[in-house]
Structure 1
Amino acid sequence: MRHSLPLAPQFYVTAPQPCPYLDGRSERKLFTALQGEGAEKLNNALSRQGFRRSQNVLYRPSCSDCMACLSARIRVADFSPSRTQRRVLKRNSDLKRTATSPWATEEQFALFRRYLDHRHADGGMADMDIFEFAAMIEETPIKSRVIEYRETAATPETAHSLVAVCLTDVLDDGLSMVYSFYDPDRIDDSLGTYLILDHVEIARRAGLPYVYLGYWVPGSRKMGYKANFSGLEIFKNSSWQDLGDPEEHSGETHPLSVDPIAEQVARIALPDTRS
């Protein structure tokens, strides 16, 4: 009888590029393809080890001398909104949430372009066209949802207008907020914070223990807001731990702070995708 072993994922490393979070540094990513019948299990397993999904790729920062990027997630059972966050919930209570299949629309793209032009005009997505946007939304081999938020208590001209969108993956242990964008004219409504708060509520109702937020970066003003959520934990030194005092986590570089790529890959726990 002939036996064959399942093909293990192959891991690769990107070339260094300017870091989008910390000035004067370069970033490098460890990544693997997300495809085939085992995609769901692989995504679940690697998400628990600090990886993130982008279309059909799973990646994790693997910079040569920096470990500042730390995957962050909220423990739903331990989360309690602050006074400021309760005000954010009240301020946006007129929004109606709708979860749909991952399908891109022109209305979404128009909001996405406005968001980029006002918030990230010099970012890596600044030149994305509608076809690239559609690929970001629709190219997913796992269970994903597009969650839209619309105005319900506004003037006749703005009623039911699209205010915010979040591309969300449904993992076996939580929700992963892959990418979100919102109306830049509503800056006082703290929509980015509201989307996280609402995802905590969605996860709570679904009985899912975590909401994955992407990366928290000490010293980065762009990522500082994530430390404001109670029940936050980070993936550091190969395990999840309470964030604790954000000031205790350093983003300093050191030439010996990062293990060689081969050692990093060897420590990745892969799921059994044969069943």
Structure 2
Amino acid sequence: MTELARLKFYATQPHACSYLPDEQATTLFLDPSQPMDVQVYADLSEMGFRRSGDHLYRPHCLRCDACTATRIPVALFNPSRQQKRIFKRNADLHVQVARPGFSEEHFDLYQRYIQQRHADGDMYPPSRDQFSTFLVRDLPFSRFYEFRLDGRLLAVAVTDVLPNGLSAVYTFYDPDEERRSLGRYCILWQITEAERLGLEAVYLGYWIKNCKKMNYKTEYRPIELLINQRWSTLY
């Protein structure tokens, strides 16, 4: 493990929670002056930290511990019948990898996705500056996995390749392609990619039991939940 004791962390002031309307949220984040070191990132991911733009953070709320870090242990993953059908349904897609960089093609897809799927969220309305600050960071471990059908961009999985696994930072996709279940497919693909790379896990971010939008995360079994700073397996 990296010597984490030398790192500095800061906490935000309490603010309205984006997921639970009656709660106040506080976020703990790594000192922004700390270089984005991939091993530090990997070590902190084991402690439930995530990346957003140039920041590594995790919830640090005083009255609530509903946000639970999740990861899929690749070697143990057992796809359901529905997940196998989703994988087969998208077998015609071609995946190519790109370094993060702004493009109108990516932003147009992101904009349509936010407008149709997350108009009630804090990322609405989408803008080029917000998109760039959130996702377009030219970090050596960050990838844009593009999912295309005959050249047409259907989805982008923004993913960090860490020594201990793939971190699924964010996925956006064509909201009109509902039949394909592209969000679920991108997770399934990342599981197979992590296995191909010999990595242990896919980190999915936070799950909140009482947030319907996050229910999909526990569809992948077994899944590991970080509870009291210990990873527990849910079969």
Q: TM-score range by the shorter chain?
A: over 0.9
The 1-side partners of 2:139 and 2:5 are apart by 18
1:99 aligns with: 97
Structure 2: where are the runs of 5+ without partners? Answer: none
Tell me which amino acid in the other structure corresponds to 1:108. Answer: H
Quick check: 1:42 aligned with 2:40? yes
CA distance in 2, matches of 1:113, 1:38: 27
Change beyond 3 A, Cα 1:10–1:25? same
For the residue of structure 2 that corresponds to 1:185, the secondary structure is coil
Structure of higher CA gyration radius: 1
Secondary structure of 2:176's aligned partner: helix
TM-superposed deviation, 1:121 = 0.9
**Shift in alpha-carbon separation, 1:179–1:35, aligned structure 2, 3 A:** farther
Structure with greater contact order relative to length (CA < 8 Å, sep ≥ 6): 1
The residue number in structure 1 matching 2:6 is 8
Tell me which amino acid in the other structure corresponds to 1:242.
T
Q: What is the SS of the residue equivalent to 2:213?
A: coil
Helix, strand or coil at the partner of 1:73: strand
Q: TM-score, normalised by structure 2?
A: 0.93
- Which has the larger share of strand? 2
2:227 corresponds to 1:229: no
Q: CA RMSD in A?
A: 1.8
> 2-side partners of 1:7 and 1:64: how far apart?
22
Which residue number corresponds to residue 261 of structure 1?
Answer: none
Q: Which deviates more from structure 2 when the two are superposed, residues 200-209 or residues 17-26?
A: 17-26
Distance 1:14 1:77, change over 3 A: same
| Contact 1:35–1:141 (8 Å) recurs in 2 | no
Structure 2 SS opposite 1:211: strand
Aligned match for 1:114, one of 98, 112, 115: 112
1:176 aligns with 2:167: yes
CA contact (8 A) 1:112 1:181 kept: yes
Give the match for residue 206 of structure 1: 197
Question: Residue 87 of structure 2 corresponds to which residue in structure 1?
Answer: 89
Q: Determine if contact 1:13/1:29 at 8 Å carries over to the other structure.
A: yes
Q: Which amino acid aligns with 2:109?
A: L
- Code of the residue aligned with 2:16 in structure 1: it is P
Q: Report whether the alignment pairs 1:134 with 2:132.
A: yes
Change (3 A) 1:142 1:7: farther
Q: Which of 211, 227, 230 is the aligned partner of 1:220?
A: 211
Relative to the length of structure 1, the TM-score reads 0.80
Q: Is the 2:147–2:153 contact (alpha carbons within 8 Å) kept by the matching residues of 1? A: yes
Match of 1:74 among 64, 72, 75: 72
Deviations 1:11-54 (A, max 9, x none): 11112222222232222111113555562221111011000011
Q: Percent identity?
A: 42
CA displacement at 1:115 relative to structure 2: 0.3
Structure 1 196/38 Cα, relative in aligned 2: closer, same or farther at 3 Å? Answer: closer
CA deviation string 1:96-141 (max 9, x = no partner): 1111111121000000000000111121111332133123233254
Question: 1:223 Cα shift?
Answer: 0.5
How has the CA–CA distance of structure 1 residues 7 and 142 changed in structure 2, closer, same or farther, with 3 Å as cutoff? farther
